[in-house]
Amino acid sequence: MAGKRSATIYDVAAAAFVSIATVSRVLNGSIHVLPETRERVDEAIKQLQFVPSSAARSLSGGRRWSIGLAYPLDGDRSIVSPQREDDSSALYNDAIVRGASWQAAQLGYSLFACAVRTGQDAEAQVIHRLYSAVDGIILTDRVVHNVGAMRIAKRMHAVHLSGSGTSQFGGTIRVDNAGGISELVRHLATVHQIVDFGFVGGSAESPDATARFEAFRDAVAKVGGNLRSENLLNGEFSLAKAEAALTARLADSAALPQAFVCANDQMAIGALHVLRDQGIDVPRDLVVTGFDDIALANQVHPALTTIAQPSFELGVAAVTMVIGLLDREIEVGSVQTLPTSLVVRSSCGCESPESGQAKKANS
Amino acid sequence: MAGKRSATIYDVAAAAFVSIATVSRVLNGSIHVLPETRERVDEAIKQLQFVPSSAARSLSGGRRWSIGLAYPLDGDRSIVSPQREDDSSALYNDAIVRGASWQAAQLGYSLFACAVRTGQDAEAQVIHRLYSAVDGIILTDRVVHNVGAMRIAKRMHAVHLSGSGTSQFGGTIRVDNAGGISELVRHLATVHQIVDFGFVGGSAESPDATARFEAFRDAVAKVGGNLRSENLLNGEFSLAKAEAALTARLADSAALPQAFVCANDQMAIGALHVLRDQGIDVPRDLVVTGFDDIALANQVHPALTTIAQPSFELGVAAVTMVIGLLDREIEVGSVQTLPTSLVVRSSCGCESPESGQAKKANS
DNA sequence: TCCTTCAATGTAAGTGCTTACATGTAAGCA
DNA sequence: TGCTTACATGTAAGCACTTACATTGAAGGA
């Protein structure tokens, strides 16, 4: 801890009897350094416990070898109750972060993840701080709906994750929401003879939410299903809000649909809770499906039929794209779409052989 | 993306017909600026969409207003399979990260979380990069077992999370492992008349693992319980490894204990899986308990009786301590211990009223 | 009226790096 | 041997800020 100021490149240069330029070359792995000199410098670095200042590095235009990832942490909820409560929302981001970390490490970078409380004054500031510490940045969905973020996006190597791809950004990675949804709806219609559909949607400001709903509507139309407006719920991507919305819906006497398709797994799990409490059996009385395939999806009872997002690969792809942008090996403005896939488990009425939790022994 | 370079303080100064010093004063809210001048500068800032470079700011001596948090991501496993697989390990860190982010935001800082693949060559490098981007750093348990990390810890504002508190660090936050364990063992002995105990432990290099085992051993001795060596399993804190260890143990003909106390929830969940597959009913035939109270603990069946770590508060406390260190308001070398608490659910044989998943409707 | 004092602003010296350009040196070749 | 080359290294100019110190000018006191 503490003590005197930490060593600078000058100290190292002095200790190794070279100029700071040479130290810098060693630091950045330049080819033009005598092995012997390099060794001397490395030794001095170790001796002095020198760590280059990334602030200075950024200022002078060098690489920081790190990339940032900003993901949303809902501000309002956190302020009311900072506790874990609805923290399953984090599960989705988690896989992305891990994918991104993994790929960053593969390419010699480090990944700094930063939770941004959306809707806070400080939001832009946080993104700025992150920005100034990295070479490129990945902005997930909702954090982007902010002036500051937009401004940054315009001026740096930024990729937008699962966004609507309004360009402005260096690149965009999207998920094939429509493909997954239509496969799901087809499955429900064909295998389970479902005609009357319901939907639990996500936050209006999320491009993903919109995309999923529209895909759903289209898919239902395509299979000739029907969709009554009273069965169109909004759970804002949150378990608790979905529970509330469904509870309110159940209080209504209107007939329930045969299936509730939910725009993410957390809401589906919330629905499962409410339905069990009300004595409505899933999938016998009502089918429920999710979206994302978070880790919990396979642990709940009944195991959730859902659409797998390649979350891990999303992180991988985003990092690859940012670094490609950095290296100018990728065109600015490219868009990449990752596939989704239907994961059939028990909550749609199929028996799932793969799920441990869904086994007979359990019920 | 791109376009011309963004405005600097010079551009603003020129546009407002003042010097850069005055702009800086406006930026930092100095008192010595004529309201009229201030207004002119503000106008120019808005006009040029000027955002001060935080890199330059930090360089010139200011704070970066951000703190780093390094947590482990098991290297070996990630390399073999980068997929989500055993990713419940992330759940524990998640709450810490969220607590830290939250508290950082409260105090005007930002939190950068960085997954470090333990045991990799790049480990020290990653921590260095993180270090050089922040004002202070939080190192969780296992990432510390590394020369590079140690070196950093010695010279900067670093706090060690749930470590053994060997000083070296600016500060240490610990969890009262012993208190929770002994409460649990007392509960098992008193309420459930358990005498014959088993244990599934964690990685040897983790101070937490050691602390938990020792506390367990002592607690069992205190209640006069017994503990046979063949019931001492090692699951390395991993779901999969715990499954393997327990499967191997079941192949042995020796009598099983009445309860397996696991050093974390993931391993307990693994045990649950194996036992169900073998037709051994929990809690009727065998009691299983966890540690940490991760989100999944309440979702599995039967709901896990476990010891709640105040993970969120751990993050909060760590950030508070780092910033206290930064502000020199806290003594170097302080140690803070956070309490744990027993969470009784179904896997010990108690009926849990609070758990949705554990309700009668389900079984 | 002259000197002091202080508020408003400007000047310039860092801050720790990267890198273009300059320099020096030894090898290669006629 | 003398000249070109290529490589190893050094010099110094930024990079975009903060801030100590300098400067200016007007108000206030004697």
Contact between chains at B133 and A66 (C-beta distance less than 8 A)? yes
> Which of A1, A113, A277 shows the shortest C-beta gap to B113?
A113
Is any Cβ of chain A less than 8 angstroms from the Cβ of B132?
A: yes
Nearest by CB: B66 against A1, A133, A156: A133
Q: Tokens standing for B17?
A: 């017909």
Residue B81 has pLDDT above 50, yes or no: no
DSSP letter string, A148-170? HHHHHHHHS-EEEES----SSSS
> pLDDT-derived band of residue A153, with 50, 70 and 90 as boundaries?
low
Q: Is B163 left (phi over 0), alpha (psi -120 to 50) or beta?
A: beta
Residues 1-20 of A with CB under 8 A from B: 1-3, 6
Q: What CA–CA distances, in Å, run from A182 to A94, A267, A340, B58, B153?
A: 26, 19, 11, 50, 53
- Name the A residues in 332-361 with CB < 8 Å from any B CB: 332-333, 356-357, 359, 361
Residues 44-83/B with CB within 7 Å of nucleic chain C are 56, 59-61
Three-state DSSP state, A99: helix
Are B113 and A114 a contacting pair at CB < 8 A? yes
Residues A51, B128: C-beta atoms closer than 8 Å: yes
- The pLDDT value given to residue A154: 56
pLDDT per residue over B266-320, tens digit each?
Answer: 899 999 999 998 999 988 999 999 998 887 788 788 899 999 988 889 999 999 9
- pLDDT, position B316: 93
Q: How far is CA A159 from CA A89, A144, A165, A203, in A?
A: 22, 10, 10, 21
The reply to whether residue B131 touches residue A359, judged by beta carbons under 8 angstroms, is no
Q: Are A59 and B59 in contact (CB under 8 A)?
A: yes
Does residue B68 sit at the A interface (CB-CB below 8 Å)? yes
Poorest-confidence range of A249-253, B150-154, B226-230, B352-356? B352-356
- Which of 3.40.50.300, 3.30.565.10, 3.40.640.10, 3.40.50.2300 would CATH assign to domain B66-176+311-340? 3.40.50.2300
Q: Is the dihedral of CA A121, A124, A126, A128 positive or negative?
A: negative
Residue A263, pLDDT score: 93
| Position A363 confidence tier, pLDDT thresholds 50, 70, 90 | very low
DSSP annotation of A88: T
Q: Closest Cα partner for B240 from B75, B73, B77? A: B77
Between CA A35 and C1' C30 the distance (Å) reads 32
Nearest to A22 by CA among A40, A47, A46: A40
Residue spans of the domains in chain B: they are 9-52, 66-176+311-340, 178-308+343-362
| pLDDT band at B47; cut points 50, 70, 90 | confident
Nearest to B296 among A115, A125, A299 (CB): A299
**A201-250: per-residue pLDDT in tens?**
988 777 778 889 999 999 999 999 999 999 999 998 888 889 999 999 99
For domain A177-309+343-362, give the CATH number.
3.40.50.2300
- CATH for the stretch A66-175+311-339: 3.40.50.2300
Element (H, E) at B109: none
Please state which of the four CATH numbers 3.40.50.2300, 3.30.450.20, 1.10.357.10, 2.60.40.1180 is assigned to the domain occupying B178-308+343-362. Answer: 3.40.50.2300
| Protein CB footprint (7 Å) on chain C nucleotides | 7-12, 14-20
Least Cα separation, residue B155 to chain A (angstroms) = 4
Residues 188-217 of chain B with CB under 8 A from chain A are none
Tens of pLDDT, residues B114-170: 888 766 566 777 877 887 788 888 988 765 555 455 555 555 678 888 655 555 677
Nearest by CB: A78 against B102, B122, B133: B102
The domain covering A9-52 belongs, at the CATH homologous superfamily level, to lambda repressor-like DNA-binding domains (1.10.260.40)
pLDDT at A77 over 80: no
Tell me the CA distances in angstroms from B190 to B125, B225, B251, one per residue in order: 50, 11, 30
Q: Which residues touch strand D (CB under 7 A)?
A: A 17-22, 25, 31-34, 36-37, 56, 59-61; B 5, 8-10, 20-21, 23-25, 27-28, 50-53, 56-57, 59-62
- Identical fold at A9-52 and A66-175+311-339? no
